[in-house]
């Protein structure tokens, strides 16, 4: 990929179990020049997590102050903790000439698109709902109620994904990585 082209923010989303993390990991392994964005969170660090590497850890008061002062491109609350992406952090990375990828859920991605219309939204989708259900069941990590809740969430995410710029079907890992490469390369060439 041409390193002299303008930098953009690429936002990657996908349903639980679709393999978006695996696709993204494969892409980043082939393109280490891309930077994965670091989000802010109010949750406590887990063992081995480092502030400024895994997340920017904040108190709820600090996070609320950022919300009140419109400092986030997007933010959301999950399981009693807040997560968000600071505008200033993304702008600084882009100004420093870094290609940046933000991996977030669909509602957050649409918040980003409102504030940064030039960002590129890419949704990693399953080949079918049935294939995704099979993957979720194959993990043997969730009970039936959780699987049904996730499948319901997937339908909502697929509806929201219609507002994305691109959709990559993860039916075959290498093909999905190649599709992602083509999309990003094509977007960079538009600059």
| pLDDT (tens place) for every residue of the chain, 191 residues total | 444 446 899 999 998 788 899 999 999 999 999 999 999 999 999 999 999 999 999 999 999 999 999 999 999 988 889 999 999 999 999 999 998 999 998 989 999 999 999 999 999 999 888 888 888 888 888 888 988 888 888 888 999 999 999 999 999 999 999 999 999 999 988 86
Burial of 153 (0-12, 13-18, 19+ CB in 10 A): middle
Give the pLDDT score at 191.
63
- Residues 31 and 34: their CA atoms lie apart, in Å, by 6
Give the pLDDT score at 181.
96
Helices 144-160 and 106-115, interaxial angle, to 10°?
A: 20
Give the pLDDT score at 78.
83
- What order do you get walking across the sheet with 81-86 strand by strand? 56-57, 40-41, 81-86, 72-78
Contact 55, 41 (CB under 8 A): yes
**What backbone torsions phi and psi does residue 37 show, to the nearest 5 degrees?**
-60, 150
Q: State pTM to two decimals.
A: 0.88
Give the pLDDT score at 75.
95
- Residues 120 and 187: their CA atoms lie apart, in Å, by 8
Give the pLDDT score at 1.
42
- Residues 11 and 156: their CA atoms lie apart, in Å, by 18
């Amino acid at each position: 990929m041409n390193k002299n082209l303008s930098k953009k923010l690429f936002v990657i989303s996908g349903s639980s179990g679709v393999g978006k993390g695996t696709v993204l990991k494969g892409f980043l392994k082939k393109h280490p020049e891309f930077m994965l964005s670091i989000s802010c969170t109010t949750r406590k660090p887990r063992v081995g997590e480092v502030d400024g590497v895994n997340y920017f850890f904040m108190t709820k008061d600090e996070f609320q102050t950022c919300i009140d002062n419109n400092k986030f491109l997007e933010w959301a609350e999950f399981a009693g903790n807040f997560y968000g992406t600071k505008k200033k952090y993304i702008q600084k990375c882009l100004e420093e000439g870094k290609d940046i990828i933000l991996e977030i859920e669909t509602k957050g991605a649409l918040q980003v698109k409102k504030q940064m219309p030039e960002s590129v939204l890419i949704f990693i989708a399953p080949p079918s709902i049935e294939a995704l259900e099979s993957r979720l069941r194959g993990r043997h990590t969730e009970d039936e109620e959780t699987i049904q809740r996730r499948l319901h969430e997937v339908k909502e995410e697929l509806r929201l994904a219609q507002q994305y710029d691109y959709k990559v079907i993860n039916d075959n890992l290498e093909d999905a990585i190649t599709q992602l490469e083509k999309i990003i390369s094509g977007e960079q060439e538009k600059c």
